[in-house]
Structures are given as structure tokens and as C-alpha cells.
Chain A
Amino acid sequence: MSPPTSVIFRTGNIITTGRTSLEKSNQELLNSLRQNFEDAASRATGQQLSWIEARGGTYYAPGAEEPDGLSEERTEYDITVKLFYLPGVPLSKRRDHTREALQHVLRELRVPSIDLLIISFPNISFDAEDHSPDTEPTPAEVDEWAETYQALEALQLEGQIKRIGLSEFGVARLLKLLPRTTIKPSVDQINVRDCCVVPKPLIQFAKEQKIELLTHNDCTNILPSSALQSLLQENHHAAFGDFKNIEPQWVVKYTAVIQDRGVVENKGYFAMAKINIDGV
């Protein structure tokens, strides 16, 4: 049997793991992965590799634990998932990656569907303080967005997601994408250091289109290859010795909030990377 060619990294529920929650999402992801690796390694007995599981052509790090799921009825929660497509990954993979990422979250939370799936395209950012009109997107970009968006529309029709969200879309981008959609996005999430300076035209346009403008604090490049490489090469992670030339493909963040009480019960990340084993 050929060795696995991909690996799924999992943080588990990080809401009560302390300090990591104070960091920006890229640091939060790396530090909580590190913490989860350490926890898994210290629980593992015998062979050091035993906490990494190979199953169906994929490594799981750490290996599949029985997920805790949520403690109350599904209807009590507002579950938001944000999927980060990473740079350099072929567009043709987006559909599969989207489904795959969502499946991991559904399994982790033991739920059949989520409330909101927000997608983040690589290499686009939103600068609220830049008052120059958004640069006109190229037709190729718009095609890329529209094609990816169709994957979300399909998931919505299947009932796996209730609402679709975009991120970092200004008016110019929205104007190009909206005509190519059949199910309108409900949310546009923007990164604003000072959220009181969101451009008026965007506020106005979002209102007209009934798109909710949400804030976030994620960074543009959530998991650079080099950052993942160096995490895996840290001495105490000898388990990853075989993983060379690892290329992150996507990152997904999920949050389950008890709606009526505003309490975050579960939050975590999955990341998927392609691996090239030496000599293969």
C-alpha cells in the first residue's frame, strides 16, 4: 500500500486552552496545534508515532479521537465555519477541499449542518483605511470566485450549510460576483482594525443587498508553508521526521456559540497539507 499523501492536523477544542486564544489567528493556529501535538504525544504510549494515525491514504495528527461534540441540542447553537483557501492550490481542488473541510467540522461537532460557511480567498485583502476605490477585479479572478461559490451553493441546497459568507469583499468585488450567484451571500466579513472606519459605500451597498457586515481579526496568510514546516521540525516532533516538502492546502476554523447566552462552547481548527515522502 502506498504511503499517505496528505495529512489532517487538528487542534481540538481550544476555547479553554488559555493563552492561545489571545493571539492572532495564525499564531493561535500554530500554537494550538503545537499544544495539541504535545498533549497527544504525552498521552501516547510506546512508539512515538502512535499518536499519528494513517487511515485511507491520509495521516491524522493527532489520530482520530472520539470527538466530544456539543453538550446541548443543535438548535441552541450558532455554528460558524470559516474556510481559508491557501495560495498556490489549484482551483480545480476547491470543490473537493470545501466538502472535505466541512465534513471534518461536522464530524468534530457531531452535527448534520452548520449555520454559516464563510470563505476566504487567498491573496485578497480589505483595507478599510484605503479610500481609493477597490481595484477592478480581473475576469479571471471573478471566474475563480464564481466557480468556487458554486460549490457552496450546492452545499446549501443539500442542507449542510444554512448561509453563505464571503470575506474581504468590497463593493467592486461584490458587484462582479453577485450577478454570477443564484443564492446570495448573507454575510461579508471584513478585517478592520478600527471598525468605525468602514467605507460608507460598502455599508450602504451591504444594506441594500441585505448582506450582514461582520468583523474578524484573522490575518491574510493564515498558514504559510514555512511556518508549518518549522512547527513540524521542532525537536520534540520527531514524529514528523518523514514529512518533507509539506504544502498546506486549506485551513478551516469553526466556532459553536450558544446563541441565547452568547457563550462560545467549542472552537478549533483543522488544516490539510499535501506531503511528499522522500523518494516518492
Chain B
Amino acid sequence: MGLLSLGTPLTWEEAKPHADLVRERGIEQLLNIWKKAKSKERDILLWGDEIEYLVVSYDEDSKDARLSLRQAEILGDLAHDEELRKAGGCVPSLQEINQKPGQRVPTFHAEYGRFMLEATPGAPYGGMLRDLLTVEPDMKKRRVIAKQHMTKNETPITMTSFPRLGVPGAFTQPYYPPHGPIARSIFVPDEIINPHIRFPTLTANIRSRRGSKVCINLPVYYDEKTPNPFKDPTVQYDLSDYPEDGDVRNGAAKDGHVYMDAMGFGMGSCCLQITFQAKNISEARTLYDQLCPLGPIMLALSAASPIFKGYLTDIDCRWNIISGAVDDRTEEERGLKPLSENKYVIPKSRYDSVSTYISQDPGFRPEYNDVDIHQNLPLKQKLIDGGMDEPLAKHFAHLFIRDPLVIFSESIKNYLVENNDNFENIQSTNWQHMRFKPPPSAEDAIGWRVEFRSMEVQLTDFENAAFSIFIVLLTRTILSYGLNFYIPISKVSENMETAHRRDAVLSEKFYFRKQVFPPRYANRNNKGSSTSPGGSMSNTPKPAELGPVEDEYCLMTINEIMNGQQTPDGFPGLISLIESYLNSVNVDVETRCELARYLDLIRKRSNGTWETAATWIRNFVRGHPEYEKDSRVNAAVNYDLVKAAETLGNGEGKGTSLWKGLFEKR
């Protein structure tokens, strides 16, 4: 989550007149950082993962699993733990963190949902392959530490969405009635929102700016006894406490769909995110672009959220739910009304797939940026006048078409160009599937970073480690071999939609580049004949004429993308590329053995040997004796499902058969 400044937040009506000021200052702050940090060089590889947890609370008498709202108390207990304090502390928002090297303690953070925790390694992992062996133990330690600071009936689980968030009746502990003044949701109470003032303000301001509640409709999964046509029976049409109660009377809830109306449905989901430090700005831009087409592939492969608001849905992933849950665009911006108050018709939510590539690599062709994007042109001009190149200026000018959603009055008064608060205000409320992160300040030791944001959190730490490590190894392979995964950015967005479909991992095809190796005469170091003094270019064969972009990619299954196509010149598969990278570096026997287990998980998820968490969860529900085949996930099924997630999370379901289908036991 973004930064948590303290102060007096402005309502949307109060904030609106300051929007241009915040944006202008944000661009000034960005330029200040960029000018000083653009020549940063030789930063080492550091990386980290972020895992989000749902905190559940069991009522063993009624066999119910609910969301615990004790986030603040749990973080408080973590901060006061004497042993953890001695080790350097673990709650950055509540205490000074002062960890000694080699004594890494995980750190814990608040998240949007008051039932969520986020945990990261206390210090980033390094670039040595051996460091990868510390990832899974670190993740396991986080789960154990978190659990130690909960009550006996509470537990952290790594399920992407809580199945019964927003059902009628009690799904939180304690119970609060829905329909508070902030979210104005028919389904969820305001008390599920982290009470830190930033989060209620964000919620209310998205609703105010939009001019209605957010609106998410997920196609229901029609099972044997699901009423057809399905009309979401939990929608209340006759409320009249707020103007937004009219949304549903104006058709907000669609037939055949599960309807949701609050930010909490999206931002209450849990993800697995990976951030890398690049050696310099140019490598960061390369990684941003090259990982971009992998976003939808990894979303489909990590799919883990088939249930929302107590119903099995026909989708497997959270992404579009969050996208809808923070969609602050007005009717004009959504193209429903002619523009008068607003400047642009904006095709995407603030939370959506990336719309523009940013690298200047030789492999980039202008045709790949085939989506016309709105840009804040006056601010782009400022960036260009400040010396920034066009592609990067365009990227930021695109982020800066958005309004700041939360403005603290103090930050307007206390402006310093050396800070990054105004920049981050816009940057950190653009939730795209990749994030390009400048150093926090011009003087900071931290370098240019790239965040990979599309993956869903997995039920076990073995799987979370496998997905994280896969991405890290892939970046090393991309950089070593100079791989090129570019496809037109519009195809990445299409893939993102495809990834959501039920069982997309096995039944859908995705646009993917066929030839990923660099052209034969490319020389990565830019040395050689082209720059040698007096050297003539005439002997160097010209690179083959570039054919139409459409010939560069085709539709592939995820199995083909990961495990390769069988044809002689077919795509070799990301896993064999990674393995050949591993064959080129010194890897000790133990590390190689562990890495093989992780790669095997990715391999077998891709070829269908093992199920995604989404499929596993769907099958669990459908096979439960108390499931009534009507798409509804009732409290009894939910209780057993959450218990199963807990058992898997602690020791991978050892002593049970729960893990069957998901992965192979050691």
C-alpha cells in the first residue's frame, strides 16, 4: 500500500481545487529525483516479496469462520513483542526499525482491509542464487510470527479472497451492520476499512468523484441447481438512506451476475507482489517492459479466487474486481455522457493493465505501443523541458491524468521539492500490473525498481516461494540472454481479460511472442565493429528487414509458454530458458535441488498435472457434502474451506490429503 501520511484529509469537494497543484508539484518532485538519480549505476540486485494475509476468526460452537477486525491490535502486539523489538522491530508504522545485518526479522504492515496483514522480509534478498533458499523459510517464519500475536481462535491464511465477504448476516468478528456513510454499501460495513484516516477518505472520495458507488458484476457460476436466470438475491432495492441507494434501481446489478458495490471487495483481496532493484534506470525500464507481457500469464497461472460474496463465480482471478472496486471515473470519463466537466474519456480504471511500454531497447518497435493513451500534456512538456526522454515522460504524463484522491491539508502547506509526497500521491494510486519506481529521494541509496503486481497469493508458502523465485530467475534469464517478449500492448490487455476466465490456465490461449532471442548480430555491449574507430559497417550484414508485427506473435497455451512447443523451431518454453541459465552459472547441488522443486511446480501447474488454487477451491466447494449445488458457499462449507486453507498454510497439509491435486509432497 502507498504511504500513510498523517494529517487532516480533504473531502473530494475540498480536494478537487488542489488537484492541479498536487500534480504540478508531483512532477517537480519527480524531475528532481530523476535528474539526480538517472545516472545511478551498478546497483546490485536486491528484491523482496510482499505477502498479504486474511486474518480469520473461528467460532467453534457455531462452526463459523469470519474475518477478524483486530488488525490494529495485532500490529500493536507485534510492535510490543520484546524479543522482536530486540531483534530490530517489525512494524515500521509503529516503531523505528533497526535490524542488524544477517538477523532478518520479517516486517508487518497494515493493509486496506481491517482483516488483513501484509508481511515482507525485514531486509531484501540479495542476488546470489543461494539467497533463494531463504525465501520459503522467511515466508514460513512470517506466518508463525503473525499467528503468535493473534488470539487462540484467530489465524492468518493466504487466500486471495474471503469467500463470504459481503454476505447477508455476520461475516466479521465482531458483527457490524452494513450500509455505513463512507462506503454506503448494501453489503459491507465501514468497519471493514482500516481506520487509518487515509483509507476511509480514499473510499469516500472514490465514491464522490465517481458520482456513484463503484459497481462490480461477476458472472455467476451456473451449477446444477443455480436459479437460471440468476438474479442476485442479496441486493436490496428499497433502501433510501443515501443518494447512492438509487444505483441498483438504475440497473447497477446485472442479471446473471454477483453484484458488489464497495472498494473493500477489491482492496480486501490478497496478492503476491515482487519488487526488484535494477542496476540502473535503463535496466529497470527493460525489466518493466519485458515482464509486462508476463503479467497476464502469471495471473492465470496463480489464479486463486473463484468465490466472491458467497457465490462461486465464473471467473478465477481477483484482478478485475479490484479494478472495478477503485474505479473513480465519472460517467463522462467512462464515455456514458458527453464530456463537459471532465477532460478525457478514459478507457481504464486506475487499477488496470499497463498501457504503454517505456524502454528504449533496440528490440522495441513503436508499433508495440498501439494504444492511444491520454497524457497530461502540459506536465509532459515540463518533463521534456527538464530533459526527460519522450517514452518515460509519456508514461508519467499518462499516470498524471488522474486526480489525487487523498490530500492532507498539511501537505499543501508544507511543500518541499526534495520530498516525494505529491509524486507518490498520484504514482501510488495508479495500480497497474507493473509499477516503475524511482528512488524515494535523490539522495537515497535505494535504486530504480520495478514491481510485478499481477499474481494472486497462494495457499502455501512453498507455492508463494515458487512463484516469487520463478519470477526472479526469469529476470536473470531475460537480462543474461537479452530476451525479448514484446507484443503489442493491446494484446497484453486482451490477455489480461482472458486470464480471468474459469480455468484459463488450461483452456485458454494467450498472445505470446514466437522469437524471443535477440537478432543474431546484436551486440549487447555496443562494442565491436559498429563503434571501432575507422571500422566500416559495410561488412556487417544488415539485420533482416523487420516483418509485420502481427507475424511476431501467436496464440499459445500456458503449457506452451512455460514448457515449450514441440515443433523444432517452436517456442522453447520459459522453464527451459531458466534451466539453461542455471546451467551457465555455478549452482551448488543443494540449491539446484531446491530450485528444481519450485520450477517443477510451475511446470506442472502449466501442464495441468496440478491444479491452480482456484480450481482446487472450486472443487473443494463442489465436493462438500453441505454444498447445495446452487453456487452458494454457505457458512458450513466456508468454515471447512478456511480450515483447509489454514492446514495447508501451516505445513502444507501434512498428515491430511488436502494437498492432493495442488502439488507433490516432499
Contacts and interface: CB of A to CB of B under 8 A. Distances in A.
B518 interface: yes
Given A194-B596, A255-B584, 10 more contacts: A18-B517, A19-B517, A78-B586, A212-B588, A214-B589, A217-B583, A257-B585, A257-B586, A264-B480, A265-B480
Interface of A: 15-19, 21-22, 35, 39, 42-45, 66, 68, 71-72, 76, 78, 80, 116, 187, 190, 192, 194-196, 198, 203, 212-217, 255, 257, 259-265, 267
Interface in B573-620: 576-577, 580-581, 583-589, 592-593, 596
Contacts of B584: 15, 21, 255, 257, 264, 267
Contact of A263 (B476, B576, B580): B476
B174 interface: no
Contact of A262 (B45, B539, B541, B577): B45
Nearest to B594: A196
A18 B518 contact: yes
B527 A214 contact: no
A261 to B, nearest CB: 4
A261 B279 contact: yes
Interface in B556-585: 572, 576-577, 580-581, 583-585
- What 5 A-B pairs are tightest by C-beta distance, nearest first? A18-B517, A260-B44, A264-B480, A196-B593, A217-B583
Interface string B315-344: 000000000000000000000000000000
Contact of B518 (A16, A66, A217): A16
Contacts of B293: none
Contacts of A265: 480, 524-525
Contacts of B439: none
Best-surrounded residue of B129, B523, B586 (most CB of chain A within 10 A): B586
Contacts of B128: 259, 262
B101 interface: no
B45 A16 contact: no
B572 A15 contact: no
Contacts of B523: 16, 68
- A interface majority secondary structure: mixed
A42 B544 CA distance: 14
A204 to B, nearest CB: 12
Nearest to B479: A263
B391 interface: no
12 contacts: A16-B481, A16-B522, A16-B524, A18-B517, A22-B576, A43-B529, A43-B540, A45-B539, A68-B523, A196-B593, A257-B586, A261-B45
Best-surrounded residue of A19, A22, A39, A212 (most CB of chain B within 10 A): A22
B528 interface: yes
Contacts of B527: 68, 71
B42 interface: yes
B177 interface: no
Contact of A43 (B524, B525, B541, B583): B541
A187 B588 CA distance: 10
B649 interface: no
Contacts of A76: 42
A261 B479 contact: yes
Nearest to A43: B539
A49 to B, nearest CB: 16
Contacts of B279: 261
B592 A262 contact: no
B518 A213 contact: no
B532 interface: yes
B294 to A, nearest CB: 18
Interface string B516-553: 01101111110111001000000111000000000000
A195 B589 contact: yes
B580 A22 contact: yes
B210 to A, nearest CB: 43
Contacts of A66: 532
B589 A262 contact: no
Contacts of B576: 22
A264 B577 CA distance: 13
A200 to B, nearest CB: 12
A215 B525 contact: no
Contacts of A22: 572, 576-577, 580
A21 B481 contact: yes
Nearest to A42: B541
B527 to A, nearest CB: 5
Given A16-B522, A45-B539, A263-B476, A195 B586 contact: no
B137 interface: no
Given A43-B539, A264-B480, A203 B589 contact: yes
B531 to A, nearest CB: 11
A216 B582 CA distance: 9
Given A15-B480, A18-B518, A215-B589, A261 B528 contact: no
Best-surrounded residue of B476, B585, B587 (most CB of chain A within 10 A): B585
Contacts of B44: 260-261
B528 A259 contact: no
Interface string B96-138: 0000000000000000000000000000001111000000000
B543 to A, nearest CB: 13
B9 interface: no
A265 B584 CA distance: 11
Contacts of A19: 517, 572
Best-surrounded residue of A45, A217, A257, A261 (most CB of chain B within 10 A): A261
Contacts of B525: 68, 71, 265
A267 to B, nearest CB: 6
A77 B593 CA distance: 25
A216 B585 CA distance: 9
A200 B583 CA distance: 23
Contacts of A192: 589
B166 interface: no
B482 interface: yes
Nearest to A194: B596
B572 A262 contact: no
Contacts of B588: 212-215
Best-surrounded residue of A203, A212, A259, A263 (most CB of chain B within 10 A): A263
A259 B127 contact: yes
A257 B587 CA distance: 12
Contacts of B127: 259-262
Nearest to A253: B584
Contacts of A255: 584-585
Interface in B331-363: none
Contacts of B479: 261, 263
B41 to A, nearest CB: 9
Contacts of A80: 586
Given A45-B539, A71-B525, A214-B589, A263 B480 contact: yes
B289 to A, nearest CB: 17
A215 B592 contact: yes
B583 A216 contact: yes
Contacts of B540: 43
Given A68-B528, A78-B586, A214-B586, A264 B541 contact: no
Nearest to B482: A16
A217 B584 CA distance: 9
Nearest to A257: B585
A94 to B, nearest CB: 24
Nearest to B528: A68
Best-surrounded residue of A35, A43, A212 (most CB of chain B within 10 A): A43
A262 B596 contact: no
Contacts of B126: 260
Nearest to A118: B586
Contacts of A203: 589
A214 B42 CA distance: 27
